Chain A
Amino acid sequence: MYNTEILVIGGGPAGLKASLSAAEKGALVTLVERDGHLGGQLVKQTHMFFGSKAQYASERGFNIATKLGGQVAAHPRINVLKNATALGYYEDGVVSLEVEKRFETISFRAMIMATGAQENTLLFPNCELPGIYGAGAVQTLMNVHGVVPGRRVAMVGAGNIGVIVSYQLLQAGVQVPAIIEALPEIGAYHVHASKVRRMGVPIYTSHTVLTAHGRERVEKITYAQIDQNRQPLPGTERELEVDVLCIAVGLTPLTEILFQAGCRMDYIPELGGHVPLRSDTFETSVPGIFIAGDAGGIEEASAAMVEGSIAGLCAAAKLGYGLDAYPGALAAARRELDALRNGPAGKHIRSGLEKLAAPGEVKG
C-alpha cells in the first residue's frame, strides 16, 4: 500500500498546479496520472495561451505542459505515478489504483480530484461510423501521435475546441470544408474564428448535421439550417463529402469517484453536467476531498491552473501546512481567478457557479 499526505488524481493543468502548490507549502504529495506522460490536454494545445503572464500568456500549451511537468518531476515532495488509473474510493480513506497493470492501494489524508472531462457525443443516423471522431480524439491523433486524421474533415461545433482543432487540422495540411454550429452565434473566442475564416473555412451558424453516409466509414454528410426550435428548415439540406467528421459539442466533467465518495453533487448545465458542491476553498461536502479544474465545471486551462493552485494551498492548510501565509495567498489566488472570470466571456461560468450552493447550505 502506498501512503501519502495529499493524493492528487489527474496530471493535467489543474493537478500539476495543485501538486506544486501543496508541495511548496511542505505537504507530501502523490500525483496519479493514467497516461504515460504528464500534462493532460495541455500537451495537445499548439496555440498560444491567453490570460496574463501569470497564466503563461503567449506560451504554447505543449510548452507549458513541459514546464509544469518538469517542475513536478523535480520536486522532492511530489511522487508521480504514471500509467496509474484511480479505480475507486473507499470510506476508510483509501483509493484503489491500477499502476502499470498492477493492483495497488493508497491511503491519504486529503485528496484533490483533478480528473478533467470527457467529450460529449451527438446522435444522428450513422453517427457511429468509423471516421466520426471526437474533436479531442482528432487532436490527440494529430498532435500527440503525428498521424493525419483524414484529407477532408468537417467540424461540428464552433466553440473554442471546434475552432481551435479546425485550425490545427489546417496546420497538419488537412482541408476543412465547413464548421457547422447549431447555435446562432460562434461560441469560440472571435479571434480563433477569424483565424480560420481568413484561411477560407466557412462557419455555418444555426446549422446542424442531419445524417452521415457511408458503408465501412463516413463518406458524406447531410447538413441543414435549423430554426429557433432546432428543427431543420426544409429545402436547406446540403451534402458535403468528407472522410472524417469531427464532433466538438462540449465536455462533461469526469466525476465517478466523487459520486462514489458520497460528495453532494448537483446538475448544472452551465458547468457541463454533474459537479460537486464546493466551498470557497474548493473542498467538497466530504471533508478532505477537494476539486479543481474541469472536473468541477468546464472552463479553460488558465482557470484550471489557478483553481489547482488554490486547491493545493487549501488542502495543505487543512493538514496544517503554510498556515502563516494562507489568508494572503488564498485572497491573491482568488483575485487572479475572479479576474479571469469577471469579463463578458465568463458570464456562463459565473451563472453556473451561482447556482451551486456551498456544502451545508440548503438550496432554496
Chain B
Amino acid sequence: MLSRSGVPTKKQLEAVKPAPERLAQGPVVIVECFQEIPCDPCYTSCKSGCFLPFEDINDLPRMDLDQCNGCGTCIGACPGLAIFMVDETYSETEALVTIPWEFRPLPVEGSEVTGLDREGKALIPVTVRKVRPSARKNGAYLLTLVVPKEYAFEVRSIKN
C-alpha cells in the first residue's frame, strides 16, 4: 500500500499507464501522482494542453494524453518528481525512459548505468542517451535512458 510503503501499487500504476495505441505514437508522460495534496504546477507548466484545468487544487491531475508532445516540461515542474516519460517507438526492443534527477555526479551520455525499480532494486543495465537540464534551470536534470521495452514501466531511477 502506497501509504505504508511509499511505492505505488500495480493497480495505481495501471490507471496511469497510457493505452497501447497512444504509446505506439511516440513519447508520452506517465504521471505517478496518487495522493490528493494541494498542488497544480503540472497543469500550469504544460504548454500543449495535455493537463486539464484543476477544479480544486487538491484534485489529482487529469490528462488528455493525445495532446502530449513529449517536451518534458512537466517532468521538471512537478515538485514531487512524480512525472516520467516513455517513448516506445525508439526501437523494436527498446524504449526511452526519461526520469528527473537531482543528484551529482551526473551520469555521462553514452555510459551504462544500472536501472532501478521503485524500491531501488537493481533491474538491468541501461544506457544513458541524454542528460539535459530541466527547463526551470534550477539544478534538476532530465535523464533519458535506453531501456529494454519490458522494463519501461519499471525503471524509475538509476545507480550511477
Direct contact of A and B (CB under 8 A): yes
Please name all residues of chain B whose beta carbon is closer than 8 Å to the beta carbon of A191 when the two chains form the complex: 33, 35, 37, 79-82
The answer to whether B79 touches A340 (Cβ under 8 A) is: no
Cβ < 8 Å to A, chain B residues 111-149: 116-121, 136, 138-139
Task: Say if the beta carbon of A231 comes within 8 Å of chain B.
Answer: no
Task: Say if the beta carbon of A262 comes within 8 Å of chain B.
Answer: no
Task: Say if the beta carbon of B45 comes within 8 Å of chain A.
Answer: yes
| Bound: A202/B132 CA distance, A | 29
CB distance from A228 to the nearest CB of B (A): 14
The answer to whether A345 touches B56 (Cβ under 8 A) is: no
CB distance from A342 to the nearest CB of B (A): 7
Contact A190:B34 (CB < 8 A) given known A48-B79, A51-B39, A345-B58: yes
Task: Specify which of B33, B40, B118 is in contact with A197 (CB 8 Å cutoff).
Answer: B118
Please name all residues of chain A whose beta carbon is closer than 8 Å to the beta carbon of B8 when the two chains form the complex: 194
Task: Say if the beta carbon of A47 comes within 8 Å of chain B.
Answer: yes
**Please, what's the 1-or-0 string for A300-313, where 1 marks a CB less than 8 Å from any CB in chain B?**
00100000000000
Task: Say if the beta carbon of A52 comes within 8 Å of chain B.
Answer: yes
**Please, what's the 1-or-0 string for B23-48, where 1 marks a CB less than 8 Å from any CB in chain A?**
00000000011111111110011000
The answer to whether B56 touches A58 (Cβ under 8 A) is: no
Report the count of interface residues on A (CB-CB < 8 A).
Answer: 41
Task: Specify which of B32, B34, B36, B40 is in contact with A345 (CB 8 Å cutoff).
Answer: B36
Task: Specify which of B35, B58, B136 is in contact with A342 (CB 8 Å cutoff).
Answer: B58
The answer to whether B117 touches A190 (Cβ under 8 A) is: no
| Bound: A105/B159 CA distance, A | 56
The answer to whether B120 touches A189 (Cβ under 8 A) is: no
| Bound: A246/B44 CA distance, A | 36
Please name all residues of chain B whose beta carbon is closer than 8 Å to the beta carbon of A66 when the two chains form the complex: none
Cβ < 8 Å to B, chain A residues 337-351: 339-346
Task: Say if the beta carbon of A362 comes within 8 Å of chain B.
Answer: no
Task: Say if the beta carbon of A171 comes within 8 Å of chain B.
Answer: yes
Report the count of interface residues on B (CB-CB < 8 A).
Answer: 42
Q: Which residue of A lies closest to B35 (CB)?
A: A190
**Please, what's the 1-or-0 string for A183-226, where 1 marks a CB less than 8 Å from any CB in chain B?**
01110011111111111110101000000000000000000000
| Bound: A193/B1 CA distance, A | 12
| Bound: A186/B79 CA distance, A | 18
Q: Which residue of A lies closest to B159 (CB)?
A: A200
Task: Specify which of A171, A193, A200, A344 is in contact with B102 (CB 8 Å cutoff).
Answer: A171
The answer to whether A343 touches B77 (Cβ under 8 A) is: no
Task: Say if the beta carbon of B2 comes within 8 Å of chain A.
Answer: yes
Q: Max chain A CB contacts within 10 Å: which of B8, B38, B58?
A: B38
Please name all residues of chain B whose beta carbon is closer than 8 Å to the beta carbon of A190 when the two chains form the complex: 2-3, 6, 34-35
CB distance from A164 to the nearest CB of B (A): 11
Contact A345:B5 (CB < 8 A) given known A58-B136, A63-B138, A191-B80: no
Please name all residues of chain B whose beta carbon is closer than 8 Å to the beta carbon of A197 when the two chains form the complex: 5-7, 118-120
CB distance from B2 to the nearest CB of A (A): 5
**Please, what's the 1-or-0 string for A7-49, where 1 marks a CB less than 8 Å from any CB in chain B?**
0000000000000000000000000000000000000000111
Task: Say if the beta carbon of B57 comes within 8 Å of chain A.
Answer: yes
Q: Which residue of A lies closest to B105 (CB)?
A: A173
Task: Say if the beta carbon of A321 comes within 8 Å of chain B.
Answer: no
Task: Say if the beta carbon of A326 comes within 8 Å of chain B.
Answer: no
The answer to whether B80 touches A184 (Cβ under 8 A) is: no
The answer to whether B56 touches A53 (Cβ under 8 A) is: no
The answer to whether B7 touches A47 (Cβ under 8 A) is: no
Q: Which residue of A lies closest to B58 (CB)?
A: A343
Given A52-B38, A57-B41, A198-B156, 7 more contacts at CB 8 Å?
A: A50-B39, A52-B39, A58-B45, A189-B37, A190-B3, A194-B2, A203-B5
Would you list 14 pairs from A and B whose C-beta atoms are within 8 A, ordered by A residue? A50-B80, A51-B39, A52-B38, A170-B103, A186-B6, A191-B80, A191-B81, A197-B7, A200-B116, A341-B38, A342-B58, A343-B58, A345-B36, A345-B37
B residues in contact (CB < 8 Å) with A = 2-8, 32-41, 44-45, 56-58, 77-82, 102-103, 116-121, 136, 138-139, 156-157, 159
